Amino acid sequence: MRSFLALMALASLLVVGCGGEQTADRPPPAGQQVAPAEGAAPSVRLESGASVAGAVKFEGAPPPRKKLDMNADPVCASKHTQAALSEAVMVNGNGTLKYVFVYVKKGLEGKKFPAPATPVVLDQNGCMYSPHVMGAQVGQALKILNSDGTLHNIHPKPKVNQEKNWAMPKFMKEKVTTEITVKPEVMIPVRCDVHPWMQSYIGVVEHPFFAVTGEAGTFELKGLPAGKYTVEAWHEVCGSQMQEVTVAEGGTASVDFSFKLPN
């Protein structure tokens, strides 16, 4: 009887214990520049260093943007005088593509980069995610804002990190979490279960060498050590492309991408 009970107690402890990580948010590790410990992998000094820069062009005529019908939620509809448009394929005036996530995919093995103390910010404003595409480092905090005064529901659906689903009721202006930046993952889609048209993407990488193209369609990855790298550009509709690049110490290399719509 006693051993039976001990087994039961152990079994229940296992059930409880194997639940995974803590729900309490851990504060992100502090500092960017740390002196390397004896024998540890060298940390990288980011003030000087090489950079990789370029632009992402779009081939073909820019497709029309779908209107997002926000009549589903009167609070959202009231925030737009004209219909909001989908941000899936946004071609800039100069023929470049916005919201392309560019990052160093290979070449930084063995190097460690402590996560920044400041969180990256994702806002829910006008019932749209802002920014539509962003990057974060492993271990970096994500600060989610609810500027809308209505229920939003942050539902990231990663494949590598653990799936989360949080309600942000109207009274909740801000939420800070490190729970989906635990492992590197490109890209984590984020949806709002309450407002189905809302969509954004977060790329989680182990280093700070990532960028998202903006209105100019350009990107720059600064502070790289000299070496040979594979750079990947990802777009939610047009797919991803990789290119190899070599940079000298303190030099600049140029990499351009060109995307078109899939058939």
DSSP E strand boundaries for 115-160 = 120-125, 128-130, 133-137, 142-146, 152-156
Peptide bond into 242 cis (omega under 30): no
Beta strands 133-137 and 199-205: pairing type? parallel
47 vs 159, beta carbon nearer other proteins = 159
- Residue 58 Cα distances to 40, 161, 243, angstroms: 43, 31, 17
Tokens of 231: 């750079």
β-strand partners of 51: 252
Is 3 a residue that touches other proteins (CB under 8 A)? no
The minimum distance between CB 185 and other proteins, in angstroms, equals 14
Distance CA 131, CA 68 (A): 17
Is 191 a residue that touches other proteins (CB under 8 A)? yes
Q: Among 36, 42, 95, 196, indicate the residue that binds other proteins (CB under 8 A).
A: 196
The minimum distance between CB 116 and other proteins, in angstroms, equals 22
The minimum distance between CB 31 and other proteins, in angstroms, equals 25
36 vs 63, beta carbon nearer other proteins = 63
78 vs 252, beta carbon nearer other proteins = 78
Is 88 a residue that touches other proteins (CB under 8 A)? yes
Q: Show the CA angle centred on residue 155, arms to residues 161 and 127, nearest 5°.
A: 140
Q: What's the start-to-end Cα distance of the chain, in Å?
A: 68
Q: CB-hemisphere CA count at 13 Å for 203?
A: 26
Count residues near other proteins (CB under 8 A): 53
Q: Among 38, 93, 171, 263, indicate the residue that binds other proteins (CB under 8 A).
A: 171
Q: Among 165, 246, 252, 254, indicate the residue that binds other proteins (CB under 8 A).
A: 165
Enumerate binding residues for other proteins (CB under 8 A).
Answer: 1, 5, 8-9, 12, 15-16, 19-25, 63-69, 71-73, 83, 86, 88-89, 151, 153, 155, 157, 162, 164-167, 169-172, 175, 189, 191, 193-199, 237, 261
